Amino acid sequence: MLRPCYSHGVPPTDTPVDPAQRTPDSLRSRIARKGSPIIIATLLSRPLGFIREAVQAALFGASRLTDAFLVAYNVPEMMQTLFFSGVLSNFFVPVITRYRDKKDELSTIFSLALNGALLLAVLLAGGCYVFASGLMTVAAPGLAGDDHALAVFLFRFMLPMLILHCLLAVMKGTLNSLDHYAMPEYAGVFFNLVMILCALALAPSYGITSLAIGVVAGSSLQVLIQLPTLRRYGIRYRPTLAFSHPALREMGGLALGAFIATAVVPINAFVARALASTLAEGSISALAYAFRVFLLPVSVIAVPVYTVLLTELSSAHNQGQLATFKKQAEAGLSLLFAVALPATAILIALARPITRLLYERGQFTPEDVAMTSQALMAYGVGILAYGTSQVMVRLFNATKDTRTPAWIGVGSIGLHAAGCWLLMQVWGHWGIALVTSLVSYLNTCVLYVIFRRRHGPLDEGTLLRSLGAHVVLAVVLGGCLFFFSQPLAAAPGSLMTGERLLRLAGILVAGGGVYLGLGLLLKVEEIRTGVRVLKRAVRRLR
């Protein structure tokens, strides 16, 4: 049995139970409960992101000013994702989780990691400041004269974002290792709010620079709001430079593999855009619009699962609990089956109505709808693939092996490029999207085979039965939604009317009813659990 521990400064919310003795139902519920703040934050942050862009568009339009700002903003944003937030969690959480019951030691490691990351970020920002003009030329060779000078000014102005997001990544990893996910995820909500307020309040006086002010102010607030939570958990900053600590050396050994694995996604995206540029006009835009829609279910469904799972798996591995480790992996995968497959059915079956609802206005033509909805269906095939591949990566990261996923990712770059080139000859732009999905499935399979050979199999029979049941349910759900939505998909005029929105909602409710009814009839465990949870929630409201 796990002993109670209050060293984090916050008492546990439930009675300690050996995870190896938890039922699959309780493990899935545990992951879902811990991941709920991520879901809520995403549902708040995404609409605010759209509002932020709408405010930006209303104030400055699609002008040379916004071109300069976007170029200046995207470069440091890409850098912080590539070098810090996208990489750090993959090697920081598995190491620091070992120390989460040792408050003083955890504070020391947190301080060392923060100081080390800060030093690297300052050096990187300094280099970017010096070479700003060249970086803006590479990022946007079409910007010249005053536009180039404006981009350089805005880029240098926003470089503190690089440093602040680096600090945020360390804080987020530390809090995640303590099973706290809420405040790090709500940081994005505060960032968007500050950006909107700064744009509205300062644009009359500072013009496009108001957006840059919003970026720096929003990034500062993201960091500041983490401090009370860190203090509540007993984490104290110390101005130490003892970088010889064994935890930091261990992180250093894992960093290169994590960096390579993180670089695979932007490299594949760059290759996909480059290939799409040789196709019909609008292919790049169609892929970009479709991918933005694809990211919403991924952010709501997959990200909470594998974010929470990394901490759970790391803790089990650090304690030498292989049985617990595997049970948690199985719970995460079965939970993904239960939520990703219905999302896949919805995205594929309703691709055209969704595209029309979100984008069909102004210069967005029916041809654009067709191209974007095709890409959306192809990306939709990969919702489960993206989630399961990330879970597989976390299995290795939790065992402090970042190199295996990195080399599998590197190998997939060539396969992705060749597959995109081949299928775009047949299906054009949506062949590229389809290859992106298929390569993720292949990565999942290869990583599992390697994991199985090294650590033994998961409960494959149970997982396959769960997968099969949810595939059947998803096919039925998709068929119902597609059949009932065809009149709406083909209806002339805008779908953004009260009557048509109600029709779409009715179609979703009817499809959901069929899905739940069939799931109960087939006695699918995740459906039965969901219904029980819903009944308990209704009873509490009475």
Concatenated DSSP letters for 18-56? -GGGS-HHHHHHHHHHHHHHHHHHHHHHHHHHHHHHHHH
| Integer angstrom CA distances of residue 305 from 176, 301, 519 | 13, 7, 22
Cα gap 36→32, rounded to integer Å: 6
Cβ-based neighbour number of residue 71 at 10 Å: 22
Cα gap 208→218, rounded to integer Å: 16
Find out whether 378 and 437 touch, Cβ atoms under 8 Å.
yes
Q: What is the largest CA-CA distance in the chain?
A: 68
pLDDT given for residue 40 in this prediction: 85
Cα gap 539→531, rounded to integer Å: 12
Cα gap 323→315, rounded to integer Å: 12
Q: Name residue 540's amino acid.
A: R
Nearest to 395 by CA among 443, 350, 360, 359: 443
| Integer angstrom CA distances of residue 133 from 144, 153, 154, 374 | 11, 9, 11, 39
Cβ-based neighbour number of residue 407 at 10 Å: 12
Contacts 24+ apart (CB under 8 A), 16-24: 18/324, 19/312, 19/316, 19/321, 19/324, 19/327, 19/328, 20/321, 20/323, 20/324, 20/327, 22/327, 24/327, 24/330, 24/331, 24/334, 24/462, 24/525
User: What's the first-to-final CA gap in the chain, in angstroms?
Assistant: 37
Cα gap 432→416, rounded to integer Å: 9
Q: Name residue 29's amino acid.
A: S
Residues 6+ apart with CB under 8 A from 183: 175, 225, 226, 229
**Residue ranges in 298-428 assigned as alpha helix (H):** 303-318, 322-349, 351-359, 366-380, 383-398, 403-427
| Integer angstrom CA distances of residue 258 from 162, 180, 236, 255, 330 | 19, 22, 27, 5, 23
Find out whether 387 and 301 touch, Cβ atoms under 8 Å.
yes
Find out whether 392 and 443 touch, Cβ atoms under 8 Å.
yes
Find out whether 400 and 258 touch, Cβ atoms under 8 Å.
no
Question: For the segment 126-171, what is each residue's pLDDT rounded down to a tens digit?
Answer: 999 999 999 888 877 777 888 889 989 999 999 999 999 989 988 9
Token reading at 439: 């390569």
Find out whether 369 and 495 touch, Cβ atoms under 8 Å.
no
Residues 6+ apart with CB under 8 A from 232: 9, 10
Global pTM?
Answer: 0.80
The DSSP secondary structure of 128-139, one letter per residue, reads: HHHTHHHHHHHH
**What are the backbone dihedrals phi and psi of residue 14, each rounded to the nearest 5 degrees, phi first?**
-135, 165
Find out whether 453 and 483 touch, Cβ atoms under 8 Å.
no
Q: Name residue 495's amino acid.
A: L
Which secondary-structure segment (H or E) carries 57? helix 24-60
Cα gap 222→85, rounded to integer Å: 13
pLDDT given for residue 309 in this prediction: 86
Question: Which residue ranges of the chain lie beneath pLDDT 70?
Answer: 1-25, 62-63, 85-87, 89, 363, 533, 537-538, 540-542
Cα gap 432→442, rounded to integer Å: 15
Find out whether 92 and 130 touch, Cβ atoms under 8 Å.
no
Cβ-based neighbour number of residue 287 at 10 Å: 28
Nearest to 382 by CA among 427, 340, 430, 332: 340
Cα gap 230→237, rounded to integer Å: 9
- Per-chain mean pLDDT for the chain: 85
Which secondary-structure segment (H or E) carries 63? none
CA atoms within 13 A on the CB side of 164: 20
Nearest to 180 by CA among 146, 219, 225: 225
pLDDT given for residue 86 in this prediction: 64
Residues 6+ apart with CB under 8 A from 170: 88, 92, 110, 113, 114, 117
Cα gap 475→481, rounded to integer Å: 10
